Amino acid sequence: MSKMGVFVGTAGGTSMKIVEALVKAFNIDEEDIFNMEDDFDEIDDLLAYDVLFLGSSTWGQGDTHFSWVDALLDIDTGDVDFAGKTVAFFGAGDSHKHSENFCSALGKLYQSFTSAGARAIGFIPKQLYQYDFSLAEVEEQWCGCGIDEINEAEKTSERIGAWLSSLKQALS
């Protein structure tokens, strides 16, 4: 079985709802869950896993959580090769107040990791969302699971369920 790791940048903890679902669905050990701010040390932490579940809340104009900045800089400089790695993305955002960049952090993670050779899985229908613009929309789908606990908490279970189904199918 592939070695799975979860890496998440979160401030308010909303993205942890998705982490809890991942742990349950894939029986992921606590030692394989990295809070990017507290637990992440170096790119080798990421490279130690075959399957990476990568999460971030979205900030400002669609940016990832600040704890991702150094890792993404290393990846984007082209010095890191994620060929042979499988990645899936998740995070939180505000679809009303920040509809112009709703969950765009997922799209930024997608761009960095796929440009470095990783294979992305976990695409779900964009129809599960209402927003003006998002970098998480890739080829008419969402490149991961975004949730909005502020305005659309009632949709969280459906979104996570659709994402987990997509992941299980891709990883079987």
Encode the chain (172 residues) as per-residue pLDDT tens digits.
689 999 999 888 899 999 999 999 999 999 999 999 999 889 999 999 999 999 999 998 889 999 999 999 999 998 899 999 999 999 999 998 889 899 999 999 999 999 999 999 999 999 989 999 999 999 999 999 999 999 999 999 999 999 999 999 999 9
pTM for the complete prediction? 0.95
**pLDDT at res. 1:** 60
Determine the Cα–Cα distance for residues 85 and 72; give it in Å rounded to an integer: 16
Q: Where are the domains of the chain?
A: 4-171
Q: How many CB atoms lie within 10 A of CB 164?
A: 20
**pLDDT at res. 74:** 93
Q: What does the angle CA 121 – CA 151 – CA 69 come to, to the nearest 5 degrees?
A: 50
Out of 3.90.550.10, 3.40.50.360, 1.10.620.20, 3.40.50.1000, which CATH number does the structure's domain 4-171 have?
Answer: 3.40.50.360
Backbone phi, psi, residue 86, to 5°: -110, 135
On whether the CB atoms of residues 88 and 134 are closer than 8 A, the answer is: no
Determine the Cα–Cα distance for residues 112 and 98; give it in Å rounded to an integer: 22
**pLDDT at res. 13:** 83
DSSP state at residue 31: G
